[in-house]
């Protein structure tokens, strides 16, 4: 097994060898307050091997403090990308995530939850700012402390499956707060979602950044696996422009189907409302008729 210095050197020296791509953007995504920014600070601390610094803003109450898609270079080749966490995984927020994973939106800008077809407009406007030579690698961050209900599993599984189909890479799942009692339960649920790689770790924090071998190895092992997946994918799909065109088509189709589904739901809601109003009017009319009939009988 490699030592920590050997693992670190392997990661820092990794290059793409002019395979059509210039860098790897490791795109983090997930819910609000699950430790994405803390994970970035932890990775910088481990790979830079200097004093602990707060690079990505962290909110102490786990409510999520990131509102923009911000880049944090780790090496000459690997760059972490923080992201605004989702409150819920509705169509607008997942559409934003897929546009980012498709490398269709610019970096270092505020994240919007674009309604209607505004996301399409933003994708078109971003054409001249994004680089086809950026290789996107998806990492889903989830806090063990939050727990994971069975009701949430189908929603997350669909998100991860779509991210895999879009990028061609099974998203790596990072479970933060590994010492929490929920770890085994949460890990088992992600395994049931057919997630290939699940890593659990404790992030370093401003309050607790004592360097330990275990924490260092947990982080380094993640990047060693990321590098293996990147190499595997690049050997089989070496055309950045062609890959990005496919991802764009995928995301635009997703947005179109999302809008179509929304309109169908609105039409169905309108139909139910109209049906309910007709039933109420019918019931009211029958009630009035019954009252009039009763009054007539009394008068007689």
Q: Residue 95 has what pLDDT?
A: 86
pLDDT tens track for 109-155: 877 767 767 889 889 988 888 888 899 999 999 999 999 988 889 99
Q: Where are the beta strands (DSSP E) in the chain?
A: 23-30, 68-69, 71-73, 78-81, 109-110, 134-143, 172-176, 198-201
Which residues are paired to 107 by β-bridges? none
The residue that leads in pLDDT, 224 or 243, is 224
Q: Which range, of 8-12, 20-24, 55-59, 168-172, averages the lowest pLDDT?
A: 55-59
- Residue-averaged pLDDT of the chain: 87
Q: Rounded to an integer, what distance in angstroms lies between the CA atom of residue 233 and that of residue 238? A: 8
Separation in Å, CA 88 to CA 41, 94, 120, 252: 25, 9, 21, 21
Q: Residue 61 has what pLDDT?
A: 46
Local confidence band at 293 (pLDDT 50, 70, 90 cut-offs): low
pLDDT over 50 (residue 186): yes
pLDDT tens track for 96-109: 889 999 999 888 88
**Assigned CATH topology for domain 22-255:** Rossmann fold (3.40.50)
How many percent of the chain have pLDDT more than 70?
89
pLDDT tens track for 57-76: 766 544 455 567 889 999 99
């Amino acid at each position: 097994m490699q030592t920590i210095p050997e693992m670190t050197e392997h990661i820092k020296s990794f290059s793409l060898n002019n395979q059509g791509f210039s860098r790897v953007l490791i795109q983090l995504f997930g819910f609000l307050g699950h430790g994405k920014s803390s994970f970035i600070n932890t990775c910088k601390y481990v790979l830079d091997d200097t004093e602990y610094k707060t690079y990505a803003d962290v909110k102490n109450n786990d409510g999520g403090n990131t509102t923009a898609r911000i880049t944090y270079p780790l090496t000459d080749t690997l760059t972490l990308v923080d992201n605004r966490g989702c409150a819920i995984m509705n169509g607008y927020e997942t559409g934003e995530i897929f546009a980012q994973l498709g490398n269709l939106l610019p970096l270092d800008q505020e994240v919007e939850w674009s309604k209607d077809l505004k996301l399409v407009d933003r994708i078109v406007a971003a054409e001249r700012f994004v680089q086809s030579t950026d290789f996107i690698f998806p990492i889903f961050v989830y806090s063990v402390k939050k727990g994971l209900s069975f009701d949430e599993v189908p929603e997350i599984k669909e998100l991860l499956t779509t991210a895999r189909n879009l990028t061609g890479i099974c998203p790596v799942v990072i479970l933060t707060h590994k010492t929490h009692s929920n770890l085994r339960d949460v890990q088992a649920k992600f395994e049931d979602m057919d997630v290939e790689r699940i890593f659990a770790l404790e992030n370093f924090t401003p309050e607790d950044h004592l360097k330990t071998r275990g924490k260092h190895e947990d982080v380094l092992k993640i990047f060693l696996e990321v590098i293996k997946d990147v190499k595997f994918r690049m050997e089989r799909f070496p055309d950045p422009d062609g890959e990005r065109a496919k991802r764009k088509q995928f995301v635009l189709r997703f947005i179109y189907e999302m809008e179509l589904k929304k309109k169908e739901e609105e039409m169905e809601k309108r139909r139910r409302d109209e049906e309910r109003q007709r039933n109420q009017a019918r019931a009211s009319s029958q009630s009035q008729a019954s009252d009039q009939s009763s009054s007539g009988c009394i008068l007689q």
